[in-house]
A and B are shown apart, each in its own frame.
Chain A
Amino acid sequence: MWRSAISIRHLAMRQTQTQHGACDEARTQYSVLSARQSLGIVPCAAWRLLLLVAFITLELFEPTVVSAADPIRPPSNVKVEEIPYRGGTSIKVSWDLSPDDTTDGDSRVEAYEIRFDQVPKPFSQIESLAFRFLPGWIWNRVWRGRGSSFVMRLQTLPGARSIEPSKYYDGSSFDGTGVDSGSTFRVSVVSIGTDKARSAYSNAVTFPRFRTSPQTAPIDKSWFALVVILVCGTVIVCTELARRGKPFYVRPIAGLQAIEEAVGRATEMGKPMLFVPGIQDMNEIDTVAGLTILSSVAKTAAEYDTPIEVPTTRSLVMTAAREAVQAAALAAGRPDYYNEDRIYYVTDEQFGYVAHTCGWMYREQPAACFYLGKFYAESLILAETGNAVGAIQIAGTAETTQLPFFVAACDYTLIGEELFAASAYLSGEPAQLGMLKGQDFGKLAAMVLVVIGCLLATWDSILPRGKDAQGKDLPPRTQFLRDEVLKGG
């Protein structure tokens, strides 16, 4: 904020010099001509007389035109208005110029200063009591800045009639001064003279909703919120129904049914297995879904006593994977199966990780490879290497760009939502299976919206809505669905 004010002030100074330079120019011109005259360049006596008169006029009349004793006058008619569609963060302050701010070169105004006073909120009853009875040091710590007023100043060039303060502050300036978003401000403007004298304050305008951050509504994206509540509500209802014994059919997922086959194959061949839980961190839901499947794979592997290697790209994933495998080994009644050396961090680097994992695959020749999580360009390299070593491969990702590669190179692929359904499917718990049913409601809602959208668009194309009274095209019927419902509302 102050940086901007300084730079604006700098500009103001430069401009002031230009505007007030008329007298200096006249003086300079006079002295140059005098010098020339002495050299005999301007011999005419009339010139000499004219310049002398000009000089005397400037010297005599300048002090009387602008008297240092006269106070500089403030601007008037200050107005504050909110700039629409910017969430209340942007206001425009405008004013009528001070009578001393003229454009004929004699302006006495160097700058305008806009002053914002944060109006302190009235004390609540508790605060009033606290103010009366609490020791000062506690009051200052707890209610610091609560009763004080904050003043923000901005300066503009002379001749400026308005300013948008949001262009000149950044959030940190406000944060540092304890301004509350949504505070009431009193705005006034003062003229600053070329002699640094300050005028009286203009009329003050109170502006009640000045915000330091956008988005004023307490609830945003209302349509989206409604959809989320409906989908999540249905999921919870289905879970409850499943808990009470209502049977739900979940279609078999080939990739998950193949897990036992893959573990059995590795056991028969006496070779290890590889599990890659993606290359992202725990904040990716794909990684969490991958780890839930790891839990199930590790349980089966522990029962068969087939070693499983889990190299990870993130150390948090490594920790979670260790937890999952250890618990699975315990659940299988084989606590000695767990070996933390087989679950380790390699590197965060995508292709460094690929180099390590592919190298391990060529050396150890795993019999089964699982790629379940978030994958990017490394998906095909891993899957092709697994194919080259003859491993049975099961992959799953929600990254749509990588699905074709897994489909081409792996034996089984969990496509998108199947990866997330896997945990519920493998657990076999009614509550979790009920949740899968709840998802179907969301799909139904999506299908209904698609059909409604198609019908409306068709209607629009066959029978357009025509024009309004002003002759403008009326918006298509799909607009509400597209702009309000689907974009969140």
Chain B
Amino acid sequence: MLDFLNTLDRRWVFLAMGLAVAIPILLGIGATEQPTAQTQRMFDYIEALPAGSRVLMALDYDPSSEAELTPMAYSFTRHCCLKRHKLYFLTLWPSGPPMLDKTISKVVLGEFDSSGRPMKYGEDYLNLGYFPGEFGAVNPICSNLRQSKSQDSKGISLDALPMMNGVNGGKDMQLIVNVSGGYPGAKEWVQYGSTPHNIPMGAGCTGVQATQLFPYHPDQLVGLVAAIRGAAEYEAILAKAYPQYNELRWRDGTRRMGAQQWAHRLMIGLILLGNAIHIASRRGRGRR
């Protein structure tokens, strides 16, 4: 038995992980989370902004990190729409525009079009599309984005859009919200955008990036929402403030937390098992 475990084929581990993730998803097992201070601050900041504030929504991720970041992107957008903030969507990732389109069609159009006060394109929200230049694009976007782009993603001149009246760039925004899947992402927005131009910024990021962004909170980031857990926390706060979002169908992050928790449990089990095998093998060698 010990020999079998010592030479355990990694595919058994893969199978166990597959089951730990798939079963909670298939059975719809979710899990709510108690909000941490950094998530609560992010919510409070957006909530406290006066209605109609300008918010730059930089969604810097692609399909690879979509599963982890979409729930928080939806939550931020939903919250801003509820507060009737003006949203300026853009991305620094070449494969990011479909992420913008999805967020707009799912939340801005899908949820608010049928409401009494639909969001109007060019007046309440705007899709600026992809900005090339990676980190180098951040500074021009904040200082004067017309230098980088004269049209929105649909090819409409920025001058013809009412939302762009009196807006030159990020420095005219009341908040930058960045959903970051890697490079360029929240770190670059802090370094080249929000800090030099003194614009308040909040971020959502993948779990791996979180430790890199902790040092920026709370001085340079008004709030930080980390990974699926952060998204679930944000959803919980949003549902408390706006009870119509209490249903699980609005809470992708909460639903995905179930799979994450079972995966964590499996990992703890595997680490304990690995150590048990290690100790048993050492004892076995000692006896021999």
* A–B contact via C-beta, under 8 angstroms: yes
Interface residues of A (CB under 8 A from B): 3-4, 7, 167-168, 170-172, 213-214, 280, 350-351, 376-377, 388, 400-402
B95: nearest chain-A partner, CB-CB:
A349
| Complex contact A376–B183 (CB within 8 A) | yes
Chain B residues contacting A4 (CB-CB under 8 Å) are 165-166
| A170: chain B residues within 8 A (beta carbon) | 144, 146, 168
**In the bound complex, CA of A401 to CA of B206 (Å):** 11
- Give Cα A401–Cα B208 distance, bound, in whole angstroms: 6
Which residue on A lies nearest to B145, using beta carbons?
Answer: A170
Measured between beta carbons, the chain A residues less than 8 angstroms from B122 are none
Q: List 8 A-B contacts (CB under 8 A).
A: A3-B165, A4-B166, A167-B166, A168-B166, A170-B146, A171-B144, A171-B146, A400-B211
Name 11 extra pairs, CB < 8 A, besides A351-B64, A388-B10, A401-B209: A7-B165, A171-B146, A171-B168, A172-B144, A280-B183, A376-B182, A377-B65, A400-B211, A401-B208, A401-B211, A402-B208
* Given A377-B64, A377-B208, A172 and B182 contact (CB-CB distance below 8 Å): no
Residue of B nearest to A220 (CB): B196
Which residues on A sit within 8 Å (CB–CB) of B165? Answer: 3-4, 7
The 7 A-B pairs with the shortest beta carbon distances in the complex, nearest first, are A3-B159, A171-B144, A170-B168, A401-B208, A170-B146, A167-B166, A376-B182
Interface residues of B (CB under 8 A from A): 10, 64-65, 143-144, 146-147, 159, 165-166, 168, 182-183, 208-209, 211-212
Q: Which of A168, A377, A401 is B212 in contact with, Cβ under 8 Å?
A: A401
Closest-by-CB residue of A relative to B183 is A376
CB nearest to B144 among chain A residues: A171
Q: Using Cβ atoms and an 8 Å threshold, which residues of chain B touch A376?
A: 182-183
Cα of A171 to Cα of B145 in the assembled complex, Å: 10
With known contacts A4-B165, A377-B182, A214–B143 Cβ distance under 8 A: yes
Give chain B residues whose Cβ lies under 8 Å from the Cβ of A172.
144, 146-147
CA distance A459 to B170 in the complex (A): 39
Question: In the bound complex, how far is the Cα of B166 from the Cα of A402, in angstroms?
Answer: 42
A388 to B10, CA, bound (A): 9
- Of B146, B208, B211, chain A has the most CB atoms within 10 Å of the CB of B208
Asked if A171 and B208 sit within 8 Å, CB to CB, the answer is: no
Residues on B with C-beta less than 8 A from A388 are: 10
What is the bound-complex CA distance between A450 and B183, given in angstroms? 29
Q: Which residue of chain B is the closest to A2 with respect to CB atoms? A: B159
B62, chain A: closest CB distance, angstroms: 9
Q: Which A residue's beta carbon lies closest to that of B166?
A: A167
Distance between Cα atoms of A213 and B171 in the complex (Å):
13
